[in-house]
Structure 1
């Protein structure tokens, strides 16, 4: 393959640490006139244009963006592929919403052509919104995951997904069995896990829809393939928490169900965690597990407010999730807009630099991929975005009043959406152009 070397010049910003651990000033690097150099899909240099330009060969192609900010690609740690067609469904809380809208929508994925069509739409939406890596729930049907991975592989995207395991408390047309879920998951793992930039996640939907036998086999899969991911839901809604107590009276709480079946670990991501207690946060942190904070969905379904300060106190890894279709936007900028309000309602502040961290490096750490994605450090994959300061008339006018990168960043997160993402690059390739 011929060497491909390109450079990108603009204002450049990325997180290098969690502001909760090192303070805001030490948590990011900002280059007002920066240069990003990409070699064969990886970042090879980052710094001030004035310092780097002289070291580049005369014939290198340099793309210069005016009135724009380059950031790492966004990382969505919780989203549902088969719910794309029912996003923005009216009027229910979690358990009724699943039965009324979600399950009927997911049943359509028995059809391979439908799975392929939705996978294409879904990936386009991710990239249009600047999301370069996502942790994705398929449906119970293996074809949902095959279709997604096929589409992601064509674009050399770093994506993680899994087939839902669900053998009870769901409509007959949508359940598998403990045994079939194990065998189908295993076949998908053999086919896709570690292929290119793709990874597989063992995906029990949530404790109420899996029998103890199925949860046992989910834990067995994790034991058989040590670098697999595990994704599920936890403590999203108070009714759901009570239901888990009824179904598993022998366990001491919701998290303990998953703990008992060996589903906690360094690549385990639990969505929501709105109603976790201190002890559960401590246990998640102790096992290296992570939580996906899904503010848009938690507000839309009336689930409650995630306690980010409590998670920070326990040094628990937290990523950000859109949770489409409970969440109403593929945009992590819009998700951060909601996250800020969730913190405000609890008398806490969310700084724009913590927000940037959650959408990029925080997500990468939750997925144990910080050596590959989430920053613009040399040696990482060239997954990055170009955010346009003039994307809308209001944004353009508002940013002309900005006096600092902190203010600019915050305005992008409150007024920005898919229109703000001018270009998305994955592994150095342009995969979305507005």
Structure 2
């Protein structure tokens, strides 16, 4: 099979490289000429551990190539993955304009049977829309199938997640499409769920919404732990050992972010609204998450009295470690709140860059955490980068104006920090 991946963002590039690693010949297509040139040179337009080495490997092997030539790419491909963005609209629904554009392009330029696969995260019923858009755009009648094959990639862990997945979900209306996709993944050792396209589309949203619910649940418990003087880490360990619950996504903190959870929970709610169904639990999940970063700010106000003219060091911009993604990152909201309160902010992140909306006279991006911490009245830890555990905190304490640590990810040892002489507070976690 000749495989085309349309869209060379995070999902598209990862999908293309993993398929190349599985032995298939893959073409990556994008309308962004600068992005394609970067990929052709062996560089990624985003940060993801392990992917750049894989890119260089398969550019050299010839298993992967990148192009901006839409017509030729479609004509030469048998299987086409749609991996374009589906950003949130103002009402929370997914914007399918890019999916529609790809479907129309395929319809106009197809020259024989094509299996079209939605890899983008899309609302229930999108497979039917893509089928209609392809038919509307066809100038000559050619057979095709449209299937759903959602991704379950964690940013920062995309490569192991793709090479050693928990499951592969295939939503197909025809046996032929299901068999083709099953053959594509035949070398992967994991369960394969073959179902309808609508079910596959809902599985993706339901999975992310459930994980977001676990995060908001433990964050709510953390607030109670703060009041009761209980360590939320021990609570999470105690309940996480129950196999019906599991330990993943039970790490209390300042809330979830990124390109998936916020967007997907909102889109699922919008789908429910369109079908006159209330998902009240998910409404609360969103509400809890939106307010969670304020819990850390409240702790700082209680300790410092006022944040006006206080120098606050923010360690971590990305919404999670091992990625440069700052979309919906709690750190961004915290910095905005600090600026509203007239604080002076210094920021460090190993890979993520300060977004344009945070370029401000009172915000200083720093090359090292030590530079950010110098003269600070407090430090907010917003991303649990491992390198922050290895800071020489005992030495750094001498260079801070006031040794306060507000750990939004509960990553440091509370007792050790207190022994060094810091005032340390986490989220539902203190010594």
TM-score, normalized by length of structure 1?
A: 0.25
Higher relative contact order (CA 8 A, sep 6+): 1
Higher gyration radius (CA): 2
Q: Which structure is higher in strand share? A: 1
